[in-house]
Amino acid sequence: VPKHVLQTLIESKDLSVSFARPKKARSSYWTKFSQVHRFNIPQDYIVCLNCKSLLKWTGKNGTNTMKNHSCSRKFDARTIQMNHQHVPPLHDNNRSSDHSLPQIKEQIKVACAEYCAADGRPFHSVIGQGFITLVQQLLIAGAITGMSANAADLLPQPSTVRINYGGITLHYADSNHKLYTFMLACQAYDYDSQQSPNIRAFLDEISGEFHLQSNEHQTVVTDNEVKMRSAFGTEAYQCLGCSAHYVNKILEHAFKSDKCTQAVSLFESIRDIVTNIKRTHQQSKLSKCLRNYSDSRFSGIYLMMMSFLEVYSELPAILSKEHKQKYPNIQQTVVESLCKYLKDFHDVIEKLSADKVPTLHLVVPFQQLLISRSFVNDDDHRTLKLLKKFIGNELRTY
């Protein structure tokens, strides 16, 4: 840290600055000087306790810097007060004889254990450098404010300012059908609302910076959100929906529909068990990792059910009493048939999401493939029949 920066921090009583003698200091000169620390890291500077002058110093200098320094005022250790309270580290040799230190360390140990247990933190989190720096700052704050301060008043607010961002990518296929993807921008969306005119203006503003204008050779591809379709479903744009997003939404709606109650019940039971295992830290007892459902991830339903199926026989040993009652209602054969059916959707979504080659020509063939896979067979379980019927109808209209 430059000298003038340290000087400013010292004068402003910044809590990141503290003072301490080097551990191996033996000279009597150290009764009049202290080394400057920034975030508990020793700096190559010392400060005179008499005149508060900041002096360049390293261990190689020995006491030469202190010998050559002349103060215009007489030093009186009893009347001089530093701008910062000096909080020596716990390992300081000068503090080792303090009889209260073992009791303080025991209280800190108990508090750390309670912190880890209450907040679900690993024990090794209290030995990291970041945590040690935090504790050092708290010691400095405690020395300055005393015991009258309320800890909650000193801690920062955990919430952050919410900022929406918008991202725009440009996809271009050359004459050899090679796809090029360019990230044009990802910047703060500073409009008052997310209504369609504002979204369109946001795109036009960024496109204008690259001298891009909408024409018959350009197509805007968006998801199936109403505001996105409204924003670009005008004469100025050729707008296409994202097929991978459509297919994923059809699956999402199917497992929420009252026309597929058995599939919905099965899905909710599996998700409840997976969530509980994750929350109670029982995952390590299984041979494979369970994957929780996320509606923001494509094929989330298939991935969760498949991971559940892979450890199906291992689950009774770790389930709670409540979930052991749900477990027999989840038939393995039914889950297997659902996973086999959903695997085709997972593969189609993966192929439509390719970012190296164009996929527009695959949309119709894949749509027909999924429709054919959704034909009901006589030997299908009732749960699968209702699901296929619902999804098949949705696929014909998207």
268 and 382 housed in the same domain: yes
Mean pLDDT, residues 174-186? 85
Least reliable range by pLDDT among 156-160, 171-175, 361-365: 156-160
pLDDT for 94 equals 47
pLDDT-derived band at 77 (thresholds 50, 70, 90) equals: very low
Among the candidates 33, 68, 103, a domain finishes at 68
Residue whose entry in the numeric block shows the structure tokens 């404010």: 145
In a domain, 347, yes or no: yes
Q: In the predicted model, is pLDDT for residue 256 greater than 80? A: yes
98 and 215 housed in the same domain: no
Q: How many domains does the chain have?
A: 4
Among the candidates 122, 154, 186, a domain finishes at 154
309 and 384 housed in the same domain: yes
186 and 237 housed in the same domain: yes
Looking at the whole model, is its pTM more than 0.75?
no
In a domain, 82, yes or no: no
Q: Please give the share of the chain, as a percent, with pLDDT higher than 70.
A: 88
237 and 250 housed in the same domain: no
> In sequence order, what are the beta bridge partners of 173?
179
In a domain, 85, yes or no: no
Among the candidates 154, 183, 203, a domain finishes at 154
272 and 370 housed in the same domain: yes
Residues 143, 145, 148: CA angle, nearest 5 degrees: 115
354 and 256 housed in the same domain: yes
141 or 271, higher pLDDT = 271
Of these ranges, 120-129, 236-245, 339-348, the one predicted with the greatest mean pLDDT is: 339-348
In a domain, 83, yes or no: no
CA distances from 186 to 79, 105, 165, 220, 239 (A): 58, 49, 7, 17, 21
293 and 263 housed in the same domain: yes
Cα–Cα distance, 243 to 360 (Å, whole number) = 9
In a domain, 79, yes or no: no
Of these ranges, 59-68, 101-110, 279-288, 302-311, the one predicted with the greatest mean pLDDT is: 302-311
For 201, the domain range is 165-241
pLDDT tens digits for range 316-366 = 999 988 899 889 999 999 999 999 999 999 999 999 988 778 888 899 999
Cα–Cα distance, 342 to 305 (Å, whole number) = 10
pLDDT tens digits for range 181-204 = 888 888 888 888 888 888 888 888
In a domain, 30, yes or no: yes
